[in-house]
Amino acid sequence: MNIDPLQILQVSIYSKIINGVTTDPRQIILLALAFFIYKMIDIEYCKKKILERIHFTSQSECSITIPFHRRTLITNNYGTPKENIHISYSARFHALNYYLSKHAPENIYQMVEIMKREYKNSYHDSEVIDYILLPVQNQKIEICKEQNIQFEIIVEQDNRDEEDGKKEKKKQQNVNAKNYVYRISKKGKENYHILKEFLEKCVKEFEDETINRKQQQTFEFMKSEKDEDDKTRLSFREYPFKSNKHLDKNIFFENKQDFIQYIDKFRHRELEKNISETEYEDSGITFKAGILLHGKPGCGKSATIRGILNRTGRHGVLVRWSLLKTCADFTGIFRSAINNTKYDLKDLCFIFEDFDANKDEVLKKRTDVITDLDFVELSEDNTNQIDHSDPTIENILKITNDQQIKNMHNVLQSMTKNRGDELTLECVLNTIDGIIELHNAMYIFTTNMDISKIDSAFIRPGRIDYILELKLATVTVIREMIYYKYRSANIDFKKYENLFLKMKDEKISPAEVQKIYMRYGKGQIKECLQELVKATNGKK
């Protein structure tokens, strides 16, 4: 039975008035005033505010929640758009994992190994799996005693239908995966800044001790995708980099020492800014390395690149030019965000191999490429030569030819409208030498073509600062290679000078020289040189 306090007060006032218990009018006025005030107050509102105050004083805390992220990406797979679901975790999530594994708070009494999947339902990579030790779920623990910061895990079940196309049939397979949400908290809503600083410290420690000290890698660009916000995201495959190619040891070409001196300007300097960087700044020149390697196949372009990576210590970002379709693809490469990890430009070397492949015309001379303007000029020239009042066969052919040119012009205009964000020379030039400077970047372009066919705007200083032609082996290069091959054999090379004199320049590639001398041991230098004489003179 619920009793209304208002009714009790009313009954009390009425009974006192009727029974005449009090003759003091002040008491009656006071009771009436209390009754009036009570009627004016919103009791429910007061109750709510009192409860909120009690909750604030007893449960007040600040927190940061770090969830998993699900992204929808659209891939153009053989001309057919395909929707892909990616599950990813931020650097903050990984940083907390690292903090727990390194510092392991004393009050953690129960740990469990879990499989954390970053699901990538894409053409090249299905998923990335990591095994980590975590406190058991629903166990709230103190991970930082000095600042009284609490940590807890929330596990969410991910039920999705994954399409599996086998035997031209799509079968539905239920995928039950656990996704993890982390939450850190601290008592007192005024302490949010402490949580934020703690998390930033964890991220910095994680990046300094894992990402920044990571083994040298090669990242191979695979494709670009559009997410639900129509933003371009790039996908890379990752391989450990290991090579025994060294510029100062076993790579040979003319004027190599000059090239090494140029490359050394862009080697890692951990403790201080190097002298070359200061010189570039004083001269108002962007501190970056733009290199073009060209020459016939087998002359050492790939080996030279591996030597550059070994000497600079940079990660290689390998890009097949034929995979770049849009300007967004090209500019995205230089954002240096690779598989959700951000790198500094000083840590990367961008390698654009064979930009002449598949008859690509982006970097060729603009005079060699037919443009919309060419058709306009051709059409105008042809029109000026036509006399529409002349009924001769020759003039009729001119009119027909003019109509064909106009038709081609209309087709080209239609194609141009549909290009959208197509990769162009202007995009390449603005990216490597535009308003936004690529400070401390290193990029290498390679080609087998004659560089006279490349647009001069692309290879001008400031965009390409070192052009290295890797030629067929000269006798000088062959001599250096032989000396290096037999350096530990204690050989008097003067005895074989007559064989070197019989060799001819630029007849075989350095790769062919290497192939020949690898067939002979330390005691077979004469036989090796004799075969090289035959090879350079076109004899078998």
The string of pLDDT tens digits covering residues 148-160 is 898 888 877 665 5
Average pLDDT over residues 322-345: 86
Q: What percent of the residues of the chain are helix, what percent strand, and what percent coil, each to the nearest 5?
A: 40, 25, 30
CA nearest neighbour of 512 among 270, 218, 296, 236: 296
Whether residue 373 is predicted with pLDDT greater than 50 in this model: the reply is: no
Q: Identify the weakest region by mean pLDDT among 58-62, 357-361, 441-445.
A: 357-361
Model confidence at 416, in pLDDT bands (50, 70, 90)?
A: very low
The predicted pLDDT at position 410 comes to 55
| Helical (H) or strand (E) element with 515 | helix 510-517
350 vs 329: CA distance, rounded Å: 13
E-state strands within 241-332? 289-294, 315-320
The predicted pLDDT at position 142 comes to 86
417 vs 69, higher pLDDT: 69
Model confidence at 117, in pLDDT bands (50, 70, 90)?
A: low
* Residue 9 CA, distance from chain mean position: 74
The predicted pLDDT at position 401 comes to 56
Q: Residue count of the chain, please give it.
A: 540
CA nearest neighbour of 152 among 163, 165, 167, 136: 136
Q: Identify the weakest region by mean pLDDT among 89-103, 110-124, 199-213.
A: 110-124
Q: Identify the weakest region by mean pLDDT among 29-43, 85-99, 281-295.
A: 29-43
The predicted pLDDT at position 234 comes to 86
Q: Identify the weakest region by mean pLDDT among 34-48, 214-228, 509-523, 526-540.
A: 34-48
Q: 150 is written with which tokens?
A: 């609490």
Mean pLDDT value across the chain: 77
Q: What is the largest CA-CA distance in the chain?
A: 143
The predicted pLDDT at position 272 comes to 56
Residues in Cβ contact with 516 at an 8 Å cutoff, skipping those fewer than 6 apart: 528, 531, 532, 535
DSSP 480-504: HHHHHHTTTS---GGGGHHHHHT--
E-state strands within 140-191? 141-144, 149-166, 169-187
Q: What burial class does residue 386 get, using C-beta atoms within 10 Å of its C-beta: 0-12 exposed, 13-18 middle, 19+ buried?
A: middle
Q: 247 is written with which tokens?
A: 């510029």
For 83-115, what is each residue's pLDDT tens digit? 667 777 788 888 888 888 788 666 666 667 766
Whether residue 164 is predicted with pLDDT greater than 50 in this model: the reply is: no
Q: 207 is written with which tokens?
A: 């990046």
CA nearest neighbour of 215 among 195, 192, 243: 243
Whether residue 275 is predicted with pLDDT greater than 80 in this model: the reply is: yes
Contact in structure between 425 and 455 (CB atoms under 8 Å): yes
Contact in structure between 37 and 31 (CB atoms under 8 Å): no
Amino acid (one-letter) located at 415? M
The predicted pLDDT at position 478 comes to 96
User: CATH assignment of 236-362+423-464?
Assistant: 3.40.50.300
The predicted pLDDT at position 14 comes to 62
Give the CA distances from residue 277 to residues 265, 268, 271, 338, 446, in Å, rounded to whole numbers and listed in that order.
8, 12, 14, 26, 25
So where are the chain's domains?
Answer: 5-59, 62-213, 236-362+423-464, 366-417, 475-536
249 vs 409, higher pLDDT: 249
Whether residue 435 is predicted with pLDDT greater than 90 in this model: the reply is: no
DSSP state of 139: -
For 458-506, what is each residue's pLDDT tens digit? 999 999 999 999 999 999 999 999 999 999 888 999 999 999 999 999 9
The predicted pLDDT at position 170 comes to 41
In terms of DSSP H, where are the helices of 68-155?
91-103
The predicted pLDDT at position 116 comes to 62
289 vs 232, higher pLDDT: 289
511 vs 506: CA distance, rounded Å: 12
Whether residue 393 is predicted with pLDDT greater than 50 in this model: the reply is: no
Residues in Cβ contact with 353 at an 8 Å cutoff, skipping those fewer than 6 apart: 318, 319, 320, 321, 446
Whether residue 173 is predicted with pLDDT greater than 80 in this model: the reply is: no
CA nearest neighbour of 354 among 321, 331, 308, 305: 321
93 vs 89: CA distance, rounded Å: 6
Model confidence at 370, in pLDDT bands (50, 70, 90)?
A: very low
Task: Find the radius of gyration of the CA atoms of the chain.
Answer: 38
Average pLDDT over residues 38-59: 62
The predicted pLDDT at position 165 comes to 45
Contact in structure between 448 and 356 (CB atoms under 8 Å): yes
Give the CA distances from residue 490 to residues 173, 486, 487, in Å, rounded to whole numbers and listed in that order.
68, 8, 7
Whether residue 118 is predicted with pLDDT greater than 80 in this model: the reply is: no
The predicted pLDDT at position 124 comes to 43
The predicted pLDDT at position 424 comes to 87
366 vs 357: CA distance, rounded Å: 17
Q: 380 is written with which tokens?
A: 């105008």
Whether residue 48 is predicted with pLDDT greater than 80 in this model: the reply is: no
Average pLDDT over residues 5-12: 62
Contact in structure between 23 and 38 (CB atoms under 8 Å): no
336 vs 343: CA distance, rounded Å: 5
314 vs 189, higher pLDDT: 314
